[in-house]
A and B are shown apart, each in its own frame.
Chain A
Amino acid sequence: MSLSNVFNIAGSGMSAQTLRLNTTASNMANAQSVSSSIDETYRARKPVFSLRPPSVEQVKDNVDGLQPGQGVDVLGIVESDAELNMEYNPSHPMADEKGYVYYPNVNVVEEMADMISASRSFQINAEMMDTAKQLLQRTLSLGQ
């Protein structure tokens, strides 16, 4: 039944956006985590989204040849390879032998924009699910 697939699709979208919101929160919280070496410094994390293809059973069921995708998959989380922020501050307790401390490559403005985008997308997925629910409920009342 196609309308119940909308629940899965919107659900996958919502969980993907939640994960995106989670990485944003992690990035923002760690935006000022200093470290004394490049390797130990926190790097901004980003989720990678991809289209979820229909399952084998669904492909068999769709005799009319229409094969719509089935939502979003999160392939994984990657760390940004943008350059870290170095700061010369010999009096800092975390400074290395040359007097540098390293700040994460988190761009706070970018993260804020990402956060707003994620929450809007979550909202629209929830709305879509609500519409599908109403349609299904009405369909159940057929002939009454």
Chain B
Amino acid sequence: MAISFDKALGLHDDAMLLRARRAEVLSNNIANADTPNFKARDLDFKAVLEGQLEMTQKPLELARTDASHAFGVAEPQYSSELMYRIPHQAAVDGNTVEVQEEMARYTKNAMDYQASFGFLDRKFKGLNTAIKGE
């Protein structure tokens, strides 16, 4: 019997990767707080995660009409798009970054990352205990 890490870890490893991607997007927003015409972006965590889960449960396979065709899974493109944020106050230079809000989101995202890390860590500890049988 093979151990499936994918099944054992649940969605926590996907969630952690997604948090890391979001940290990149949010940090880019903050770094560009003084760039004219820059539009703040963000990703919809729930939509992307749902897309990922759908992919693991019932992957949408690409049609193979010939034996030489490679096996492929279609990406749920609709969910993995970066959205543009609507600012509360528009700036004269066309920049839509609101630094305080972005920093709050970045910090919350970091906390969520740590939470996902905690879950994943405990999953591994559980596996470890099961292997040792103590």
User: Would you call the interface of chain B mostly helix, strand, loop, or mixed?
Assistant: helix
Q: Say yes or no: A66 contacts B80, CB within 8 Å.
A: yes
Whether, in the assembled complex, B31 has its beta carbon less than 8 Å from a beta carbon of chain A, the answer is yes
Instruction: Please state if B23 and A3 are interface contacts (CB–CB under 8 Å).
Output: yes
Assuming the contacts A63-B75, A128-B106, asked whether A70 and B82 have C-beta atoms less than 8 A apart, the reply is no
Q: Report B25 CB to chain A, min CB distance, Å.
A: 4
Contact B124 A10 (CB under 8 A): no
Separation of A135 and B35 alpha carbons in the complex (Å): 27
| Residue interface bits B72-105, CB-to-A below 8 A is 1, else 0 | 0001010011100000000000000001000100
Q: Is the CB of A121 within 8 A of B33?
A: yes
Contact B103 A66 (CB under 8 A): no
Assign chain B's interface to a size class: 35 or more
Q: How far is the CA of A143 from the CA of B121 in the complex (A)?
A: 6
Q: Is A65 positioned at the interface, with any CB of B under 8 Å from its CB?
A: yes
In angstroms, Cα B128 to Cα A142, docked, is 12
Residues in B whose Cβ lies below 8 Å from that of A72 = 31-32, 34-35
Q: A64-B80, A68-B41, A131-B107 are in contact. Are A117 and B34 (CB under 8 A)?
A: yes
> How far, in angstroms, from A131 to B81 measured CA to CA in the complex?
25
Interface size on A (CB < 8 Å)?
Answer: 40
**Distance (Å) between the CB of A48 and the closest chain B CB?**
8
Which residues of B line the A interface, CB within 8 A? 17, 20-21, 23-25, 27-28, 30-36, 38, 41, 43, 48, 75, 77, 80-82, 99, 103, 106-107, 110, 113-114, 117, 120-121, 124-125, 128
In the complex, 14 of the A-B residue pairs with CB atoms within 8 angstroms, ordered by the A residue number, are: A3-B20, A10-B31, A65-B75, A65-B81, A66-B43, A66-B81, A68-B25, A69-B32, A124-B30, A131-B106, A134-B110, A135-B110, A135-B113, A143-B121
Given contacts A68-B82, A127-B103, 11 further A-B contacts (CB under 8 A): A2-B21, A6-B23, A9-B27, A13-B32, A51-B38, A66-B43, A68-B24, A71-B32, A124-B99, A131-B110, A135-B114
9 A-B pairs closest in CB distance: A13-B31, A2-B20, A49-B35, A2-B24, A68-B25, A143-B124, A6-B27, A65-B80, A69-B28
